[in-house]
Amino acid sequence: DQQVKQNSPSLSVQEGRISILNCDYTNSMFDYFLWYKKYPAEGPTFLISISSIKDKNEDGRFTVFLNKSAKHLSLHIVPSQPGDSAVYFCAASTGSSNTGKLIFGQGTTLQVKP
Amino acid sequence: NAGVMQNPRHLVRRRGQEARLRCSPMKGHSHVYWYRQLPEEGLKFMVYLQKENIIDESGMPKERFSAEFPKEGPSILRIQQVVRGDSAAYFCASSPASGRGEQYFGPGTRLTVT
């Protein structure tokens, strides 16, 4: 049962343009969502998060949007840079802070072309 | 502030041997999580521990796998009688006692069973 889905395995964009990565979830109990970036042979690096009481959170070039009615979130990267090329995972959790496991999507490989 | 440390980074075991994976959380973090990533898949939660306590082991296989986080020393993920299907990247993450849910990951241990 895949509760968190990233339906696009890969995405290619030109440097300077916007990258939009999408994530859908099925469990309405999820109330905290996170995006991680992962380079080969490294651990995931936390990027940005959003609580279900918000619909947008912004941090520099990264913005996460949450549409609770559609059970959908997206990560926007503007402008995209070649160093952003990596695998991006969305993750979700239930309950209040620090209560346990994260449920990850399968990941989307982003390639930013110079 | 040192990040999450994992060792070894690479581990090769023959079928039937035991594998021990170690994780030292970030300084000040008292919560440890273990995840497994099989080839071409996302990260799957295995177990969540606090000092001397297993909080959630719902993702652990019923047999051969165990985890501990003693009062002193690193967290250990132990796999007994390894099989080829155990070959994967095992990631440890930690979080502070109070936080917004972000988990910070180590570089992972890549286990290969021959």
Task: Please provide the DSSP assignment of A41-99 as one string.
Answer: TS--EEEEEEETT-SEEEETTEEEEEETTTTEEEEEESS--GGG-EEEEEEEEESSTT-
The overall average pLDDT reported for chain A is 93
d(CA B101, nearest CA chain A) in Å: 5
Residue A94 has pLDDT above 80, yes or no: yes
Contact list in A for residue B110 (CB cut-off 8 A) is 41
Confidence band of B28 (pLDDT split at 50, 70, 90): confident
> By CA distance, what is B92's nearest residue in A?
A43
Q: How far apart are CA B38 and CA A63, in angstroms?
A: 29
pLDDT in tens, A41-91: 899 999 999 999 999 999 999 999 999 999 999 999 999 999 999 999 999
Which of B42, B59, B97 shows the shortest C-beta gap to A105?
B42
Confidence band of B40 (pLDDT split at 50, 70, 90): confident
Best to test chain A binding among B43, B48, B54, B60 (most A CBs inside 10 Å): B43
The two three-digit tokens of residue A26, written as one number: 């099925």
